[in-house]
Structure formats: C-alpha cells, structure tokens
Structure 1
Amino acid sequence: MAENTFPVYTADAIVNFYRTEVLTGQEAKHFTKADLTPAPKPEAVQTLYMRVLHLLYRFRPECHSMVPLLENIQYPVYHEGATAIMSVYLRMRQFLPMCLVYDFSLNDLLAPKKQKTLTVLSAIMNFLHFRKQRMDFVLEKQAKFRADMDRLQTCIRSNREAEKKIEMLTTIPPEQQAEADELAAAVSELQATTMHECQEVNVKNDCIAEWKTNIAEKSQKLAHMKVDVSNLKEDIGKLKSQIVESPEELRTQMERMRENVKSIKNSITEADERAVELQNMVQNVTHTEAEIQQMYNLLQDLESSMNNAKQRQEMYQELTAQYEKKQKEIKNLCAEEAQLKRAQGMKLDKESKQNIRRQMKKEMKENHVEDILGQCNQIHQKREDMADKIHEISRETLQLKTKIQSLRDVCSKETEKAQALYDALSASMDDLHKRIETQIVDLKQDFIKNSTNF
C-alpha cells in the first residue's frame, strides 16, 4: 500500500464515483457498498471491469463471451463459461499497467479480496480523473486555437478594409479628376501671373521711390528758392530805402525780376504738372495694390488648400505606417498560423494514422465476429446433433472420464502457455509503458515550446 503512487479511496467514494461516472441505468441503481465490503462480489467486480473497458475502449460487454473456438475441439460447451472471464482478465492485464497496477491476477476476478479490489478500483478511478483532466485541457486548447483563428480572421478583415480606405484616399475618382486637373492648371497659371505681377509691382515701387526722392529734392529746392526770394525782397526793401535808384537801373532790375518771376511761374507749373502725374501714378499704385491684395487673398486660399493637402498627405503617411504595422502583425500571425497548422497537421496525421489503425482493428474485429458467428452457427448445429447423441454419450462415460483427464492435462498445458504469454505481454507492456512515459515527456516539452512560441 505504501508503494502506490495514487491514493486509495474509501468504499463510499468509490461507489459514488462508479455510480455517477461509469455505470448507467439499473446497474448504477443496484450497485451499492455491500458489493465491495466486507467481501467483494465477483459478479459486481466483473461487471465494473467490463463497463470500464467499454468506457475506455468501446469494447461491449457481450463481446467478451464471443471467443473464437477451434473446429476440432470436442464439447465446446465446457469453454463457454471461461471465455468471458479470460477475455476480461486478458484485457485488464493490458489496461492496468497504465494505471500503475502490475500484480493483477485471475484470482482477483474469481475470488476478489477487499483491499486488493479497492486498490485496483482506486487506480482506475485515478486514471479516469487524469483522463478527464487531459480531455478538458485539450478542449481548452482547441477553444483557444479557435479564438486565435477568429482573431486572425478579424485582423485580416480589418487590414483589407484599411487597404481599401487607403486606396479610396489616394486615388482620385474619375468624376473629380477633370476638376483636379483644372484646379492644378489654374494654380500654376495663378502662380505664374502672381510672379509676373510681383515683379511689375517691385519695378513700379522702385519708380515711385525714385519719383518721391525727386519730388522731395524739388520741394526742398522750391523752399530754398522761396527763402532766397523772401531774402531778396527784404534786401530790395532795405536797398530801396537806402538808395535812390535811377530809372534805367530800375527798369533793368524790373526786367530781371519779371524774368525771375516767369521762370518761377514756369517751374511752379512744371511742378504742378509733375504732381498731377505723380497723383495719377499713386492712383495706379493703389489700384495695383488692390489687385495685389486680391492676389494675396488667392495665395492665402492656395496656402490653405496646400495645408489641407499636407494634412491629407500626413494622414496618408499615418495610414501607410498603420498598414505596415498591420502587415507586420499579419506576417507574425501568418507565421504563428503556419506553426499551428504544422502542429495541427502533425496531430491530424497522427489522428489519421490512429483512425486507420482503429479502422483496421474494427474491420479485423468485425471479420473476427463474423467468423465467430459462423462458428457459433456451426456449434448450434453440432449441439442439435449432439442432442440426438445424448443416449450414446451416456454409454461412453468411462471414455469421457479418460478424455476429461486428457483435457485437464491440455488445460494445464494451456495455462502454462497462457502464463508464458502473460509474462511476454507484461514485459512488452512494461516496454510500452516506458515508451509512453518518454513520449509524454517529449509531448510536454513540445507543448511548452509551442506555448512559448504562441
């Protein structure tokens, strides 16, 4: 008991578990604690083992009694009772090493003991618990894999929608293509005209600055001339008061003064004409300034449109960056999907191989069952023949005793052969158990690697 690697449960726990998990219908209702304690009933233990084999291997209980018999065996009636027990015994010998029970014997079926039966049932119960946990774990992994596949499909759909949006934003529709070309041509023309007019405006501004400098110089000269004239008038008044002028000198001075006045008037008229020309130039300049203002407003509109274009270009760059990120995510997901597909392909290959083996086994079993049924029909016919020969068999009882002795010898030999087969099968099952443990360790390592990669 201390060497067991699994817990040995109580009889109540075992009865509750097998009634809920293994047995069904009337068998679950009639199975009680009295079937196991204080002395286990062989029929109840045998039905439990048959139901466990049916649950794990789908081997129906009625199939245990259908064992192929040799055609030359006389009196096959004597073999009918032992076939079911031997079938259950052989299959339990194959199954129980997986539950870490290696000392199962035929006596555990024919005359089971309490402690040994509880130990075997606890081992089977532990194995069923482990099987249920593994099945739940595999189902969780399948659900996660399906959720990841759905997430991958949603990411692929979102990437396709983003690609369509990028194409919609980057491509101009044919209805607006003509308008876009006209706007581009108008913008280029406006840029050319604005450059030309800006050059003309700069030239006119330079001319206006030159004219303003000339006007300022001439106004300064006029001011100096007025100051000189006023000084001369003052000097003339002073001189007139001081000097008695002669008429000839007065005439000459008056003529000079008239000439000076004419020259001054001419200069004033020229200045007025020049001022009128300058006013006209200023009006032209104001008109050009208004036109320049209009052009400036157009340029502002163009700047706003260029800003919008830049914003769209930035949006396009952001969308391209997002598209590249999505592409990288898609590549990573595709790589993960490829790994998962490989793992799934390996699993499917294994499952297909196992299914093929199972199908082959099923076909072999079906052929075997058909052979057995044919042999059973032959046996029934032989039984009918034997019913007629019962009177003759009663006369041959002495011969039967000798034959029974010989059959006992044959049975002893067959038991020896069965023991040898059992030893060989136990050795092979030990090897199989070791291989299964190594495969479980490898599968755990592969699963850890796949989980880390995933």
Structure 2
Amino acid sequence: MTENTFPLYTADVLVSFYRTEVLTGQEAKHFTKSDLTPIPKPEAVQTLYMRVLYLLYRFRPECHSMVPIVENIQYPPYHEGITTIISVYTRMRQFLPMCMVYDFSMNDLLAPVKQKTLTILSAILNFLHFRKQRMEIMLETQARFRAGMDKLQAYTRGNLEAEKKIEKLTTIPPEQQAEADELAAALSELQATTMHEYQQVNAQNDSIAEWKTKIAEKTQKLAQVKVDVSSLKEDLGRLKSQIVESPEELRSTMEKMRENVKNIKISIKETEERIVEMQNMVQGVTQSEAEIHQTYNLLQDLESSMNNTKQRQEELQELMAQYEKIQKELKNLCVEEGQLKRALDLKLDKECKQNIRRQKKREMKEQHVQDVLGQCNQMHQKREEMADKIQEITGETQQLKAKIKSLRDVCSKETAKAQALFDTMYTAMLKLHKRIDMHIKEIS
C-alpha cells in the first residue's frame, strides 16, 4: 500500500463522489464524513461496497444474503449474516485487483481502518473514472462505426443508383434503336442537303448582288437619260422660241428625237423585262429562303437534341466523377472498417482471455461448490437416515396410538355399561329406600 499507482483522495472528496455517483436515495442523504473518519463504520463501508458491486456487476444488495444451502437448516439467521459478509468479501477480492489493490482482507469489512479504507475507496474512485472514460470512448467509436456503416450503406445505394442511371443513359432501348439509326441517317442526309443548299444560296446571293448592282447602274443610267431628255426638251422649247429653223432640219431633228425616244422605250422595256425577271428571281430566292428557314428550324431542333445529348453526357461525366469519388470514400471507409475490425478483434481477444480467466475461476468456484454440495449431500443422506428412523418411530407411535385408541374405545364401552348398571342399581336402591321408609312409617 506504500507505493500506489493511483492518487489518494481526502474523505470530503470521497464522500461527495460516492454520494453523487454511487449511492442513491436515503443512503446518499445519510452517508457523511463521520462514517469514514476517524473510525469507519462497518455497516456504512459494507453498504458502500455493495452499491459499488451493484453499479459494476448489477448484483443487487439483497442477493448477498441469499443462503445457497439445503432447506430446514438450524438457526438460518446466523447463516444469513455470515453469507452476506462472505459474499461481499469474495466479490471484493475478485474486483479489487482490477483497482490495483491486492491486500483486501476480512478485517476491512468487519473492523475497517481509516487509512486502508480511504485507500481502497480512492482506488475504486480511480477505477470508476477510468471506466467512465473508456465507456465514453467506446460509445464514440460505436457511434462513429455506426455512422460509417450508415454512410457505407448510403454510398452503396448511391453507387447502385448511379450504375443504373449510367446503364439507362448509355444503353438505347431496342424499340428506339431503329428510330435512332433513322434519325442519324436523316441527320447526315440533312447535313449534306443543307450544305448543298447553302452553296446554292450563296451562289444565288452572289448572282442577286450582281443583278442588283446592274439594276442600280441601269436605273442610274435611266435616270440620267430622263434628266437628259428633260433637259433636251427644255432646250428644244427654248430653241423653238428663239430660232425658227427650216422644216427639213426640223424633220431630221424630230426623226432623231423619235429614234432616241424609241431607243429609250426599247431600253425601258428591256429594263422592265429585266425587272420582272429579277422579281421572279427574288420570289424564287424568298421561296428558297423559306425552305432554308425550315431547314434552319430543323437544324435548331437537331442542335437542341444534340445539346440535350451533350447535357446527358456531362451528367454522365459528373455521375462518373461522383462514382469515382464515392469509390474513394468507400475505400477509405473499408480501411477504417478494417482498422475498427482489428481493434474489435483485439478487444475480443482480450475479452476471450478475460472470459477464459473467468471460466477458470468459475470452474474453481464450481469445484468448491461441488465439494460443498457433496458435503451437503452427505448431510442430506444422514438426514434421510434420521428421517427413516423417525418414520419408523412415528409408525410405532401410530401403532401405539391405535392400540390406545382401541383400548379407550373398549374402556368407554365398559364405562358405558358400568354407568348403565350403576343407574339401574341406583334407581333400584332408591326404590328400596322408599319402600323401607314406607314400611317404617306403617310400622310406626
């Protein structure tokens, strides 16, 4: 006890701890410092040890007083008192080595000493603190393990769902395979036709631009000719007013002017024809633009479908990334699970060793119990022999009682007969006395 591996506490600290952590109800209220110092009370120490055993092993205090012996014992209260002390002593002897206390004796229960009792209580307090910390750590590890198992299950479910989605996105149903092939073929044909039509439209746009430039030039020339004609008409009018020409010259000029007008009319007709042709070409271009617009709408639809496929591919890539991430987390969880399993295996090995030790102790106890039971059986056999003798004596007594009863019956019958004879004799004597009295009276 001089070299302890645990701190020694004062009586006040021990009283406050055991009142709050171990004792309950009225026991906690009545437990004070005077129960430990200066001289510990055996009853208080015994109840304290019983409560500690109940806290650790759930062994109720009233179970210590149960007498595991055969029935019909002489003086059972003496056995009950000894059994309680011996039960507490044996269990404390088994428990205190875990608290680094190896010199527990019967005097520590029957006549406890202050210093020794405080040392034992300090060791138990230290063990209870250690037990509480270990239980908290075990509960935390169990909670983490359960959370890890829940995450693992959630991740496995997510992996299965992601694999199902990937299969759904990557595989084309057989009923839609033909439609997908037709759409792909139609898309390729449409792309080829649109490229050809784009080329034709570009060529037509170039030709239209050339015709527009030509028409603009012709219209400019026509406007210039109109301006020239109007200027010439003005000049002619002004010249007519100023100069009187000869009729021949006038005719020649008029013919020239007529020719010029004819040429201008012909050119105007040609330009109108060209304008009609250009209008027809513009109408064809508008029709082609409408067709191009339809093809453009089709291309937009195809582009939207391609965008949807791209989005699905992006979602597929994201799902694959999530799948890889979940696989990494799953590997980490598997590693943590392996570590926890190894820790559990170590704990199970320790528990197995402790169970083996407990089994050995139980076997020793059972051997001791069997020895005690053998002695009890011998006592029981002796008791049975005595019971047989008692039964024989009781049989003889019963026979004697039967004989006594029969004799009593005979005596009662004889007494009844004697009583009847006595009654008859008594009545006869009374009658005789009466007659004698009557005779005496007559004689007198």
Q: TM-score range by the shorter chain?
A: 0.5 to 0.7
**Residues 298-309 of structure 1 aligned to structure 2 (within 5 Å):** 298-309=298-309
Deviation at 1:51, TM superposition (A): 8.2
Return the offset for 1:35: 8.6
| 1:47–1:366 distance in 2 versus 1, CA, 3 Å | farther
Aligned: 1:330 with 2:315: no
Q: Distance in 1 between matches of 2:229 and 2:48?
A: 147
Which residue number in structure 2 is paired with residue 347 of structure 1? 347
Distance 2:100 2:205 in 1: 109
Matched residues, number: 366
**Corresponding letter in the other structure for 1:332:** N
Question: What is the TM-score normalised by the length of structure 1?
Answer: 0.58
Q: 1: CA distance between counterparts of 2:371 and 2:256?
A: 162
Q: How does 1:43-442 map to 2 (within 5 A)?
A: 96=96, 98-101=98-101, 104=104, 107-108=107-108, 111-114=111-114, 116-117=116-117, 119-121=119-121, 123-128=123-128, 130-222=130-222, 241=243, 244=246, 266-374=266-374, 376-378=376-378
- Distance in 2 of aligned mates of 1:35 and 1:230: 143
Measured in 2, the distance between the counterparts of 1:319 and 1:149 equals 22
Deviations 1:12-31 (A, max 9, x none): 7699689847xx9xx99x99
* Cα contact 1:89–1:106 (8 A) shared by 2: yes
Per-residue deviation, residues 59-101 of structure 1 (Å, max 9, x unmatched):
99699999xxxxxxxxxxxxxxx99999987886675454354
Distance 2:86 2:261 in 1: 158
Kindly state the Cα deviation for residue 338 of structure 1 after the two structures are TM-superposed. 2.1
Calculate percent identity across the aligned residue pairs.
Answer: 70
Q: Which of 253-262 and 351-360 deviates more? A: 253-262
Name the Cα RMSD after superposition: 5.4
Cα shift at 1:288: 1.8
1:134 partner amino acid: R
| TM-superposition CA deviations, 1:276-315 (whole Å, max 9, x none) | 3222222222222222233333333334444444444443
- What code does the residue aligned with 1:197 have? E
Structure label with greater radius of gyration = 2
Q: 1:377 & 1:345 partners in 2: Cα distance? A: 45
**What SS does the corresponding residue of 1:298 show, helix, strand or coil?**
helix
Report the Cα offset of residue 154 of structure 1. 2.7
Query: SS in structure 1 opposite 2:8?
Result: coil
Q: CA separation of 1:265/1:58 partners in 2, compared to 1, >3 Å: closer, same or farther?
A: closer
Q: Deviations over 1:102-137 (max 9, x none)?
A: 665565456444554454345445534543553454
Structure 1 residue 200, shift from structure 2 partner = 0.9
Q: Residues 369, 218 of structure 1: CA spacing in aligned structure 2 closer, same or farther, 3 A cutoff? A: same
Q: 1:155, 1:330 within 8 Å by CA — same for their partners in 2?
A: yes
Rounded to whole Å, the distance in 2 between the matches of 1:269 and 1:243 is 33
CA deviations 1:174-218 (Å, max 9, x no partner) are 444444444433333332222211111111122222233333444
Measured at CA, do residues 345 and 98 of structure 1 come closer, stay the same or move farther in structure 2, by a change above 3 Å? closer
Amino acid at match of 2:301: D
Which whole-Å CA distance do the structure 2 matches of 1:147 and 1:159 have between them?
Answer: 18
Which whole-Å CA distance do the structure 1 matches of 2:218 and 2:55 have between them?
A: 125
- Verify the 8 A CA contact 2:8 2:118 in the aligned structure 1: no
Provide, for residues 244-272 of structure 1, a one-character-per-residue CA deviation record: whole Å limited to 9, x for no partner: 476xx898888777766665555444444
User: Is contact 1:162–1:323 with CA below 8 Å preserved after alignment?
Assistant: yes
Cα drift, residue 339 of structure 1? 1.6
Ranges in structure 2 where 5+ consecutive residues have no aligned partner: 70-81, 386-444
Distance in 2 separating the partners of 1:40 and 1:343:
43
CA distance in 1, matches of 2:316, 2:17: 69
TM-score for the superposition, normalised by structure 2: 0.59
| SS of 1:164 mapped into structure 2 | helix
Shift of 1:344: 1.7
Inter-partner Cα distance in structure 1 for 2:271 and 2:111: 148
Alignment match, 1:7: 9
**Gap runs ≥5 in structure 1:** 67-81, 386-454
CA contact (8 A) 1:14 1:122 kept: no
Determine the C-alpha separation between the residues in 2 that align with 1:372 and 1:339. Answer: 48
Q: Quick one: structure 1 residues 340 and 231, their matched pair in 2 at CA, closer, same or farther if it must change by over 3 Å?
A: same
Q: Hey, what's the Cα distance between the residues in 2 that align with 1:43 and 1:254? A: 158
